[in-house]
Amino acid sequence: MKHLRSYKHLLYTIIVCILLCGLIELAFYAFTAKGHYKVKLSNSLNYLGHQNTPVPALENLDWPEASVVIRYPDTHMDPIPSQNQNFPDEFLQSRTVLATPDDLKSIPGKRVFIVGGSAAFGYRYHYSQTFGSLISETRKGDYTVINAAQVGWSSGRLFPVLKRIVDHFAPAAIILFTGNNEWVQWSHEKPSGFRNSTLTLLSWGNKSYACSYLIYKWIIGRRDQVSDSTGRSGDKFLAHQDLLGYRYALRYPLVPDNGFNPRDWPRTKADFLAVFKQNLTSMIRYCQAKGVWVILMNIPFNYKLSPAWKHPQPFYLEEKHSATVPGMITNAADLIGRDQIAEAEAVIRQVLALEPEISIAHYLLAHILEKTGRDRAARNAYAQSREYMIGNLGSMLSINESIRKVAESTAVDFVDIHRSFDAHAQQAGDPYHATLIHDDCHPNVKGHEIIARALLPYLD
């Protein structure tokens, strides 16, 4: 009898614990925006698992089987203010929905899916203002464009999204618009130090709403502690400070003792580009094997984006120039400030003769050329600055060249959106895309109209 009472007491205790856990889970489900922290934790663990390394084509998604996250037609919602440079959770949560094939079975016409990052998503703008919606309206009844772009995702993470669409949603075509996020997980600072075994253990927390919230907050706090201990750049440099210009880059140069030696960048860049090309090729070949037509787009970019928009930039790559080139760069900037343009140009050309792959040097030259009315040469110099930027949103010429080569090798339809932007900008007297891209990489309303017009001939 005594043992029976003990067993009953244990049973009641277990039931109460289960009920309490259920209540806690329910509370965290409501508190964390219907479980959105599960997605955030999954993204964070993915980031840590591939930190400072290229992300190869992944196989799995954390979404339920045979479903895909798509952008909801949010024409009643206001766009995000242009001064907000981050991605507010409420923007994404209120504008995306998890869809199954049954949810889309009533969509008229052939289905065309957009796969890409935030530029493809149409970040900041009404759904009706994005190129996918514009195409759907123009080709109403013949084609419906469904936006399955994922904000901040690289090509490796997009691969399973594309597979899910091809396998379950019967697309007639895929519009592939990716390339801005290949280095989104790269950092000039010291890596987090998480082991793979630790990340695997933490991933089990994603089965619980409460655990996913608590683990995510712990990871963010630990990341901030690491950032605060990484020296000069970790202490002072902040991303997203000056959208345009060179002064912030001059103020916070990247030096070799911050956890990353700038001399390693060319090799890092080559490794990431190789994986990007392989990911694109794998996505296209997968579609072709299933009889799905692919339209591949390259990336339009803001020519005048500040070199230090995402990461501090080095003043030299060769150690033998460490005592001379930084002073020359600073001197050139001072000469610009005193309006001694010819002298500044002479100095900065000397710098580029010594260090031809320094983004800030190309930016200073571009500024001089623009100031003296040599717009075509200035645009080329700004493009070189974007090419030699270390980190995310750099290497744009190489990204677009990689896309072009993949299009040739796979024989898909290639739409040169960057060239379309150049052509429109030249006619509008805007050689730097200032009226087409409103921030670092997101086309504005006019930009989306140009993209839609460029794509429409392929959807006749």
Statement: residue 31 has pLDDT above 80:
no
pLDDT value of position 438: 87
> Bridge partners of 305?
244
Statement: residue 32 has pLDDT above 90:
no
Best CA proximity match to 156, nearest among 183, 130, 188, 118:
183
Tens digits of residue pLDDT in 240-262:
888 999 999 999 999 876 568 89
If one compares 307 and 221, the residue with the highest pLDDT of the two is: 307
Statement: residue 456 has pLDDT above 80:
yes
Tens digits of residue pLDDT in 309-358:
999 999 999 999 999 999 999 999 999 999 999 999 999 999 999 999 99
pLDDT value of position 187: 83
Is the sign of the CA dihedral 81, 416, 266, 302 positive or negative? negative
Distances in Å between the Cα of 108 and the Cα atoms of 11, 111, 165, 207, 391 are 55, 8, 17, 37, 42
pLDDT value of position 297: 98
The two three-digit tokens of residue 136, written as one number: 């759907």
Question: What average pLDDT does the chain have?
Answer: 85
User: What pLDDT band is residue 231 in, cutting at 50, 70 and 90?
Assistant: very low
User: What pLDDT band is residue 453 in, cutting at 50, 70 and 90?
Assistant: very high
pLDDT value of position 43: 63
Residue carrying structure tokens 């995510």: 216
Percentage with pLDDT > 90 across the chain: 61
pLDDT value of position 82: 45
Determine how β-strand 110-116 pairs with β-strand 143-147: parallel
CA angle 415, 148, 201 (to 5 degrees): 125
Secondary structure class of 361 (helix, strand, coil)? helix
pTM: 0.83
pLDDT value of position 92: 56
Distances in Å between the Cα of 228 and the Cα atoms of 15, 190, 193, 236, 386 are 45, 11, 15, 9, 28
Question: Which phi and psi angles does 7 have, rounded to 5°?
Answer: -65, -40
Summarize the confidence of residues 427-451 as an average pLDDT: 93
User: What pLDDT band is residue 81 in, cutting at 50, 70 and 90?
Assistant: very low
If one compares 222 and 271, the residue with the highest pLDDT of the two is: 271
pLDDT value of position 19: 76
pLDDT value of position 50: 63
Summarize the confidence of residues 29-54 as an average pLDDT: 63
pLDDT value of position 134: 96
